[in-house]
Structure formats: structure tokens, C-alpha cells
Amino acid sequence: MTQQFDVAVIGAGAAGMMCAAVAGQRGKRVVLIDHASKLGEKIRISGGGRCNFTNLGAAPQHFLSSNPHFCKSALSRYTPQDFLTLLKRHRIGYHEKHKGQLFCDNSAEDIITMLRAECDLGGVSWRMPCRVDGLTQQDGLFHIATDAGVISAGSVVMATGGLSIPKIGATDLSYRIARQFDLKVVETRPGLVPLTFDAAGWQPFADLAGIALPVEVEAGEKKARGFFAEDLLFTHRGISGPGILQISSYWTPGSALTLNLLPGIDIAGLLIEGKNSNKKQLGNTLSQWLPGRLADGWLTANGFAADARIADLPDKQLQRLGDTLNRWSVKPSGSEGYRKAEVTLGGVDTRELSQQTMMATKVPGLHFIGEAVDVTGWLGGYNFQWAWASGMAAGLAL
């Protein structure tokens, strides 16, 4: 039996549910298809279970894309305040945690329940769990082959997200469909992901695992340069923490990152200046500014004795020590990959899409939204804001 709808949305995540609800409430007959058995799993696990659902300061400069202007239109037409209006309508409590990041007071489940209710309000039909086997176009309609039969629709919205966390059902379906219709896909790679080093290179630092401290970190060049002042966490395999997740989206394999472990403190200058009157040992002195375990571990890893007296060390050596702390240049060998990445960089090339409607200009009726598109936000609620805004843009255009 063929089932016919005005709109089929494939992927019932953040962007897909937003889009389906909006189109449904505008009177379209909408079907939402997802292969997962549990609804909104990425929303559920986000923000430590409380979903960092937007950021009050969300603006185009917080997004990476090979076409940075593309996201402006959707983001300006659906703002964090618009999402808050929706939340208030559903009486969902929220709070600001850090730098404009908004989280649910109760649970991420509240967001899923709200989106589900909005879809119900729009009379959206569900096919879930439902496997999608292919998409074809014939006689002015799209035909989706699924394990629940063929579903036909005048418009199709691809909202299957990126490749991050395959364990909970991430697939490359949107990219495959894009390529099938001759649309370009910008090469994908894991973003917002811990960075790793080969075991031998990391061995001197492996004992520092578990230590966290505020740092400044930078990577990339010119327009692709990133700079963040956030926490770093040492791990057994490398570095993580919000500052590293942020910079990982700007880091390209083979290149270096520069870290300042003591922002605002010129360590070499301080040590050299007060050297003659300083009777202290290096380890004790550094632990004024760094966690004690890090101070000692850092000195050992860089070939200094923690009990060396500062007064006995040549300026050149103190300068070298200061440089390791204020300008630590490291070349990660890789990342923890899609298994741990919060997002996928790259995706359907935005030059193929209308920024007003998210529709492929070459394939009328075929839209791409959310993380599947080559628009990737920083850590801090930006990725959900893109999901809502791009879902809304398509939902209003269908």
C-alpha cells in the first residue's frame, strides 16, 4: 500500500521534530520517519541529561562552515528568545549555567516531550522504528522505500544528523541521499572531540590524567583560526575539557595547537626577575599557580628537577620552562573520533541549498536541515539552536 503525504521528514531528532511540527501546524500532511526505537536519544543524552538547548548569545560567528554566511538567515529568523517563548508555553524551567548556556532545570526529557506535543498539535504521522532503504523521484513525487512500505511525498526533508555516536543510531543517510541527487558534500570529520597522542609521546604526561585547569588555546590560521579561554582536562590518552573540545573543531590532523597553561602570568619573566632573592625550589614556586601534582609532573616531563633552586638555574633554562607553560605547542596524533565527538564537521554543502528554505536549488522539494548540513556550532547550545533554526526555516517553507 502506498502512503501519501505532503511532506516526509526523515530523522526525528531536534531539527526533524521542529520542522515536522511547524509544517504540520501550517496544515501540511506530514510523516516523520526514524529508524530508532527510542525518540530523541541525542537530546536525551545532551548536556549531561539536562540538554544545553540554546545559547543566549548565539550568532553566526559561533558556527563553522565552508560558507560562513549561509547560517545567518535562519539564525536571525529564529532566535534563542523564540525558543524560550516555546519553552515558556510548555512551562519548562531552565537556567543559565556558563556564558549564556541554557539548560533544563529538570531533564532533557522535557524538550523531547515538548517537541512530541508540538508534532501532535500539527497532526504529524509517525513511522518509528522504520528502516529507510532508498529515495527515488518520479511523476513529481518522492518515493521512500521503507520496511513499512513505500511512502510518497511532494517534499522530503533530510534530518538524519551527522556521524557522531554511531552507537545510538547515527548514519550517513543524508550525505548518501545528497550524493545520489548530485549534490556536493563537504568532507566530514569529528568535532567537539577529545584529542589524543601516540602512547610513547604522551607517556611523560599520562600521570597528569584527571587534572583540570583554565587555559588559553589556539589553532588554525587566518579565517579558520580558533581561540578559546576555557578549561583543559588531562586524560590518559591526551587532552579534553571544554577548551579542547572547542579547539578540536579548528584543529586539522597534522597541525599543532598552542596552549597557555598560565594565562595572564609571564612565568619566565617572573622567575628571572626575582631569581637572585629567590631561595625557593622550582616545584614549590610553580605550585603557587598550578595544582601541585601538575607542577611536579610538568617539571619532570620537561626535564627539570622539582627540588632545583631557582637561584641556581641559568636564565636560559628559566626562559625555556616559561615557554613550555605559556606557549606549549603540541601536535595531537588524532582524536577520539565519532565514538566520542559531539558533532560532525562538514556535511551537505550549503552552496547547494537555499538559505531561506534549506531546499536544494537543483532538486526542488528536497531539503536538508540540522547537523547533516555543513554548519557546525561551538560547544554551548549552539548546535541545538542551529537545529531549531534550520528546522523552522524549512518548516515555514514547505
159 binds ligand FDA (CB under 6 A): yes
Binding mask 45-74 for ligand FDA (x = CB under 6 A): xxx---xx----------------------
Nearer to ligand FDA among residue 42 and residue 237 (C-beta):
42
Smallest gap from Cβ 153 to ligand FDA, in A, equals: 15
Report the residue from 73, 155, 164, 196 that binds ligand FDA according to the rule CB under 6 A.
164
Provide, rounded to whole angstroms, the least separation between the CB of residue 212 and ligand FDA.
Answer: 19
160 binds ligand FDA (CB under 6 A): yes
Cα-based distances in Å from 240 to 66, 192, 194, 207, 344? 25, 9, 5, 15, 17
**Rounded to whole angstroms, how far apart are CA atoms 331 and 341?**
19
Distances (CA, A) of 65 to 40, 225, 250, 371: 25, 13, 11, 11
Instruction: Say if CB 367 and CB 358 are below 8 A apart.
Output: yes
Q: Which of 5, 7, 9, 11 binds ligand FDA (CB under 6 A)?
A: 11
Site string for ligand FDA, 342-381 (x = CB under 6 A): xx--------------------------xxx--------x
- Please give the single-letter amino acid code of residue 173: L
Closest Cα partner for 324 from 291, 300, 307, 293? 300
The residue of the chain with the least Cβ separation from ligand FDA equals 13
Smallest distance, Å, CB 325 to ligand FDA? Answer: 31
Q: Is 16 in the site for ligand FDA (CB under 6 A)?
A: yes
Which letter, b or e, does each residue of 222-235 get, where b requires 16 or more Cβ atoms within 10 Å of its Cβ?
eeeebebebebbbb
DSSP SS3 for 372:
helix
- For ligand FDA, which is the closer residue by CB, 124 or 132? 132
Q: Verify binding: residue 10, ligand FDA, rule CB under 6 A.
A: yes
* Identified binder of ligand FDA from the candidate list 80, 122, 169, 322, rule CB under 6 A: 169
Closer to ligand FDA by Cβ: residue 13 or 297: 13
CA dihedral 72→78→81→84, nearest 10 degrees, is: -140
> Smallest distance, Å, CB 376 to ligand FDA?
8
Q: Which is nearer to ligand FDA, 260 or 376 (CB)?
A: 376
Tell me how far apart the alpha carbons of residues 17 and 10 are, in angstroms, rounded to a whole number. 10
Measured distance CA(307)–CA(183) in Å, rounded: 62
Instruction: Give the integer Cα–Cα distance in Å for 3 and 149.
Output: 8
* Residue 33 φ/ψ, nearest 5 degrees: -115, 135
The residues binding ligand FDA (CB under 6 A) are 10-16, 34-36, 42, 45-47, 51-52, 132, 159-161, 164-165, 169-171, 173, 342-343, 370-372, 381-384, 387
